[in-house]
Chains A and B, each alone.
Chain A
Amino acid sequence: MTTPYTAPLKGNYKLKNVLLETGYVSDERGIKATKTELFCIEVNAGKITKIFPNDPKLATAVDAKGYLMLPAFSDMHVHLDKTLYGLPWQAQSPKKRTVLEMIAYEQEIIPELLQTSTTRAEQLIDLLQRYGTTFARTHFNVDTTSGFRSLENLQKALDSRKESFNAELVAFPQHGFFYTDSAPLMEDVAQMDHVAYIGGVDPYGIDKNIEKVLDYTVKLALDNNKGIDIHLHDGGKEGIHTIEYLAEQALQNPKLQGRTFVSHAFVLAQLPLAEVERIAEKLATANVGIVSSIPFGDLVMPIPTLLKHGVEVLVGNDNVQDYWSTFGPGNMLAKANLMAEIYGWRSEFDLSRTLRFATHNTLPLDEKGNMQWPKTNDSAEFVLIDASCSAEAVSRVSPTMALAHTGALYWKK
């Protein structure tokens, strides 16, 4: 498997027939459509340097064929380092494993997985790119079996894709800080420049000590000037306490605000509305975000309530295809679509705002319909989509026809 894209157009170039959203169309019942127009765009040295009226006759410009330009997509929670994507199909085991049993299982298979993890990470990056994603926040295992090798192999994959993709890294002690003795490894990894976040997982469920684990995590983050992003599947009072305790740490340490996240936080789906609102208020005050892969079925996250209280909500694929789950589409527009369906965001306006979960919050229009992207000097990080507007792209999961990463423009073959 190779990249689905052609060799890039780089440097200084112009595009014509680029469809941009320019406003909303309203009538007495509210917003009913999105206004768009064709433009020319100039890109230079990785930036959008000029946006000017369309000139279909401009011979020196590349034809964008009327495709809609949107900000490129970002996957804010994925595990690029330990995917089975690209290997022969393997369903989840019929053995029902607890998280601790999964740790034992990982200890068994990681040595073999590491042999090909660079190639598989590259293939997964290719899949994400196929659907217009040029950025990921990826967790990578730091555990006593992997050591630093999961990171090293991932870094090789990222290096090989650096012209078209980049990532921020979360050091993820999947086997606990203390349950397996991963704390010393985490101390070392935390000092590495290219690691952006200190990760974690179920301080109660795995290490059986919420405060000890979180104190340690916070200290690592503060000492090394990193953010925090911890996986929390624990439910009940332990789940709640984990969230609240982390929020309290962020309140006391303003350096953590805006870069502390709880991934999954399933416990919020199990609480009465008033309790969710209380916690949402706290998260918003501490500027602690929630990262979700948008579960559905029995467990539906109260994302509208979180948003109402001003909590930052980020979205990612999480597992695409591995021994934890085999259902990840790898497609951020599909995640936004899923959110729109789950939460009933089906009007033109609601669908168009939902795009922000695919783009890490960048949207072409502000709430009033003023154009806010792209602007001159913005990084040339965009996709060309076969859709007439963002709302259609989200509702129809429209195909990505081209993507640009720091100006390098790749067309679908």
Chain B
Amino acid sequence: MKPIALTRKEFIRNSALALAGATLIPGMLLAEEGGQLAHQKVLDGHQGKKSYTLKNVLLETGFEYDGNGNVIATKTGLFSVHIEAGKIKKISANSTDANAIDAKGRLMLPSFRDMHIHLDKTFYGDKWQAVRRGAGGVKGMIALEQQILPELLKNSTYKAEKLIELLQSKGTAFARSHVNIEPTSKLDSLRHLQLALENKKNSFGAELVAFPQHGVYYTDSVPYLKEAAKTNIDFIGGVDPLSIDGAIEKTMDFTVQLALDHNKGIDIHLHESGESGLKTVEYLIKKVNENPALKGKTFLSHCFVLGRLEKAKQQEMAEKLGAAQIGIVSTIPFAGLIMPIPTLMENNVTVMTGNDSIVDHWNTFGTGSVLQKANMAAQVYGQVTEYGLSRMLKLATAGPIPLDDKGKQQWPKPGDDANIVLIDASCSAEAISRISPVGSLIYQGNIVY
């Protein structure tokens, strides 16, 4: 294949033409959601096709460097991309084929993945209500949940579908969703969510974490967790073993054993930011090292304690987490507590992000966009250059990005799953910095919009 390299000068000329009303002009902006631009859907009308070619697809092909070896821009070119049976079949020189679908010069990126969200208990799609936290901290919140969950569950399938549609509108086609497993919901929260996922299965994928929000033992969730573990859920969850269940080891031992017995991963919410938080991390590292089957599929969500440690201790913990292949899932806190995400990444710790709450009784600020999370990370960690911004895309995709660190094209490749967004940006760096509008989403080859 012969890329049609668009030099920066040509690009500027094209853009100047665009300003004058000629080709490449962005389509009309339709509406704004979450303070971000939404875009005309360029693939509308082509839904349902199984085998098709996209032309005028902008792909990143490399970096442009200055004399000092610094990346100053991203090289891109227009290509044709053939999609068949859910896969990217072929990438070829841009075609003029009248039957090909015109992507209108939009940038193709891997679709986004939200790796920490609660799809099962949201107010989204329902009436607005602000958070009203009472006294009693997390245990107070558990009492509140016991009171409101029966009502919430009544239309939780509908709301989960609405929330999935929000995520899709922001370019997300996959989520790791926690799902409450406790004596109030029993397995209903799981069942309702599974119904929503079934209804969306052609346009959205998910993996599920059985989440004992009310403690494993604080409320007796053991039988429900055991039952959930027998289903096709993917992870055994958990939350703050010491502050909720009163003991780190007992709860963690149960969680680890349940995961091992059923060949599941682990994803524990850990908000405890003091000594107990650190002990929990260390204990989990120990258990994973003892049980290598858990390596690569064990995660700590939030893990705020890492943000409270001295630099040297952060480095030490990052090395240990990296060695045990335990990943960190963070919502990218940006004030007060700052997570040592660059240190984690430097030590090969898998770092992923998610929206967590979108609008619920815990928090009402979730935008649904993981591109926005990557944008916040770029700002918090000073990743403001072309190179730095482009690397932040990893947070939004939780996986592949078009260029590797050396600027070598690594995505898309023939055989890759056709999980794709078309975005109104000239390169990844711009998409991150400007939270560019997503114009199209393709999931497993299906054109969602």
A, B assembled together: yes
Say yes or no: A346-B385 contact (C-beta < 8 A), given A88-B15, A333-B35, A337-B35.
Answer: no
- A10-59 with Cβ < 8 A to chain B: 29, 32-33
**A92 adjacent to B132 (CB under 8 Å):** no
- A61-114 with Cβ < 8 A to chain B: 86-95
Q: Is there a chain A Cβ closer than 8 Å to B345's Cβ?
A: no
**A334 adjacent to B35 (CB under 8 Å):** yes
**Size class of the A contact interface (CB-based, 8 Å):** 35 or more
Q: Is there a chain B Cβ closer than 8 Å to A388's Cβ?
A: yes
**A326 adjacent to B335 (CB under 8 Å):** no
Which chain A positions have C-beta within 8 A of B28? 413
**A89 adjacent to B427 (CB under 8 Å):** yes
Say yes or no: A130-B32 contact (C-beta < 8 A), given A341-B365, A346-B363.
Answer: yes
**B31 adjacent to A337 (CB under 8 Å):** no
Say yes or no: A91-B334 contact (C-beta < 8 A), given A29-B134, A327-B433.
Answer: no
In the complex, per-residue mask of B12-44: 1 if CB is within 8 Å of any chain A CB, else 0: 100100010000001011011111010000000
Which chain A positions have C-beta within 8 A of B389? 91
Which chain A positions have C-beta within 8 A of B380? 296-297
Q: Is there a chain A Cβ closer than 8 Å to B397's Cβ?
A: no
- A369-413 with Cβ < 8 A to chain B: 387-389, 391-392, 395-397, 399-400, 412-413
Which chain B positions have C-beta within 8 A of A90? 73
Looking at chain A's contact residues, the main secondary structure is loop
Which chain B positions have C-beta within 8 A of A33? 129-130
**B338 adjacent to A326 (CB under 8 Å):** no
**B335 adjacent to A391 (CB under 8 Å):** no
Q: Is there a chain B Cβ closer than 8 Å to A351's Cβ?
A: yes
**B338 adjacent to A86 (CB under 8 Å):** no
**A347 adjacent to B335 (CB under 8 Å):** no
Q: Is there a chain A Cβ closer than 8 Å to B195's Cβ?
A: no
Which chain B positions have C-beta within 8 A of A342? 334-336
**A4 adjacent to B367 (CB under 8 Å):** no
| A392 to B132 CA separation, bound complex (whole angstroms) | 14
Which chain B positions have C-beta within 8 A of A95? 70
**B434 adjacent to A92 (CB under 8 Å):** no
Q: Is there a chain A Cβ closer than 8 Å to B359's Cβ?
A: yes
Which chain B positions have C-beta within 8 A of A334? 35
- The listed residue (B8, B19, B386) touching A91 by CB distance below 8 A is B386
Q: Is there a chain B Cβ closer than 8 Å to A274's Cβ?
A: no
**A92 adjacent to B11 (CB under 8 Å):** no
B196 to chain A, nearest CB (A): 21
Smallest CB gap from B380: residue in A:
A297
Q: Is there a chain B Cβ closer than 8 Å to A321's Cβ?
A: yes
Which chain A positions have C-beta within 8 A of B336? 300, 342
Q: Is there a chain A Cβ closer than 8 Å to B299's Cβ?
A: no
**B130 adjacent to A1 (CB under 8 Å):** no
B87 to chain A, nearest CB (A): 30
Say yes or no: A327-B379 contact (C-beta < 8 A), given A94-B72, A341-B365, A395-B359.
Answer: yes
In the complex, per-residue mask of B415-427: 1 if CB is within 8 Å of any chain A CB, else 0: 0000000000111
Say yes or no: A340-B434 contact (C-beta < 8 A), given A89-B429, A412-B31.
Answer: no
**B35 adjacent to A131 (CB under 8 Å):** yes
B111 to chain A, nearest CB (A): 21
| A15 to B356 CA separation, bound complex (whole angstroms) | 39
Q: Is there a chain B Cβ closer than 8 Å to A209's Cβ?
A: no
Q: Is there a chain A Cβ closer than 8 Å to B211's Cβ?
A: no
**B434 adjacent to A32 (CB under 8 Å):** no
- B274-309 with Cβ < 8 A to chain A: none
Smallest CB gap from A395: residue in B:
B364
**B130 adjacent to A91 (CB under 8 Å):** no
| A351 to B363 CA separation, bound complex (whole angstroms) | 12
Say yes or no: A329-B35 contact (C-beta < 8 A), given A395-B359, A395-B365.
Answer: yes
Which chain A positions have C-beta within 8 A of B33? 399
Q: Is there a chain A Cβ closer than 8 Å to B194's Cβ?
A: no
A144 to chain B, nearest CB (A): 28
| A331 to B36 CA separation, bound complex (whole angstroms) | 9
Q: Is there a chain A Cβ closer than 8 Å to B430's Cβ?
A: yes
- The listed residue (B15, B26, B334, B386) touching A297 by CB distance below 8 A is B334
Give the interface centre of B15, B29, B365, B430 by most chain A CB atoms within 10 Å: B365
| A92 to B386 CA separation, bound complex (whole angstroms) | 7
Q: Is there a chain A Cβ closer than 8 Å to B375's Cβ?
A: yes
Q: Is there a chain A Cβ closer than 8 Å to B131's Cβ?
A: yes
**B364 adjacent to A346 (CB under 8 Å):** yes
- The listed residue (A91, A327, A387) touching B375 by CB distance below 8 A is A327
Smallest CB gap from A297: residue in B:
B380
Which chain B positions have C-beta within 8 A of A193? none
**B364 adjacent to A92 (CB under 8 Å):** no
Q: Is there a chain B Cβ closer than 8 Å to A298's Cβ?
A: yes
| A216 to B334 CA separation, bound complex (whole angstroms) | 39
B170 to chain A, nearest CB (A): 13
Q: Is there a chain A Cβ closer than 8 Å to B141's Cβ?
A: no
Say yes or no: A391-B130 contact (C-beta < 8 A), given A342-B334, A397-B367, A399-B33.
Answer: yes
| A125 to B13 CA separation, bound complex (whole angstroms) | 24
| A334 to B435 CA separation, bound complex (whole angstroms) | 13
Smallest CB gap from A389: residue in B:
B128
A223 to chain B, nearest CB (A): 40
**B335 adjacent to A297 (CB under 8 Å):** yes
**A340 adjacent to B127 (CB under 8 Å):** no
B430 to chain A, nearest CB (A): 4
Which chain B positions have C-beta within 8 A of A143? none
Q: Is there a chain B Cβ closer than 8 Å to A325's Cβ?
A: yes
Which chain B positions have C-beta within 8 A of A94? 66, 70-72, 385-387
**B384 adjacent to A347 (CB under 8 Å):** no
Which chain A positions have C-beta within 8 A of B72? 93-94
Which chain A positions have C-beta within 8 A of B8? 88
In the complex, per-residue mask of B129-150: 1 if CB is within 8 Å of any chain A CB, else 0: 1111010000000000000000
**A387 adjacent to B128 (CB under 8 Å):** yes
Q: Is there a chain B Cβ closer than 8 Å to A348's Cβ?
A: yes
Smallest CB gap from B431: residue in A:
A89
Which chain A positions have C-beta within 8 A of B364? 346, 351, 395-396
| A131 to B8 CA separation, bound complex (whole angstroms) | 31
Say yes or no: A86-B334 contact (C-beta < 8 A), given A94-B386, A333-B35.
Answer: no
- The listed residue (B66, B130, B425, B429) touching A346 by CB distance below 8 A is B130
| A321 to B434 CA separation, bound complex (whole angstroms) | 8
Give the interface centre of A87, A88, A329 by most chain B CB atoms within 10 Å: A88
A257 to chain B, nearest CB (A): 31
Which chain B positions have C-beta within 8 A of A89? 425-427, 429-430, 433-434
B293 to chain A, nearest CB (A): 38
**A298 adjacent to B338 (CB under 8 Å):** yes
A236 to chain B, nearest CB (A): 21
A324 to chain B, nearest CB (A): 10
| A130 to B363 CA separation, bound complex (whole angstroms) | 27
- The listed residue (B132, B335, B429) touching A296 by CB distance below 8 A is B335
Query: Could you jot down 22 A-B contacts, CB within 8 Å?
Result: A33-B130, A88-B8, A89-B425, A89-B427, A91-B386, A91-B433, A92-B384, A93-B72, A296-B334, A296-B380, A297-B381, A326-B384, A326-B433, A327-B384, A329-B435, A337-B365, A346-B363, A387-B128, A388-B128, A395-B130, A412-B31, A413-B28
Given contacts A32-B130, A326-B384, A341-B365, list 8 more A-B pairs with CB under 8 A.
A88-B15, A131-B32, A341-B334, A342-B336, A346-B130, A346-B131, A388-B128, A395-B365
List the 3 shortest-distance A-B pairs measured between CB atoms, nearest first.
Answer: A397-B35, A94-B70, A348-B130
Residues of A that sit less than 8 Å from B by CB: 1, 4, 29, 32-33, 86-95, 119, 130-131, 296-298, 300, 321, 325-327, 329, 331, 333-334, 337, 340-342, 346-348, 351, 387-389, 391-392, 395-397, 399-400, 412-413
Residues of B that sit less than 8 Å from A by CB: 8, 11-12, 15, 19, 26, 28-29, 31-35, 37, 66, 70-73, 127-132, 134, 334-336, 338, 359, 363-365, 367, 375, 378-382, 384-387, 389, 425-427, 429-430, 433-435
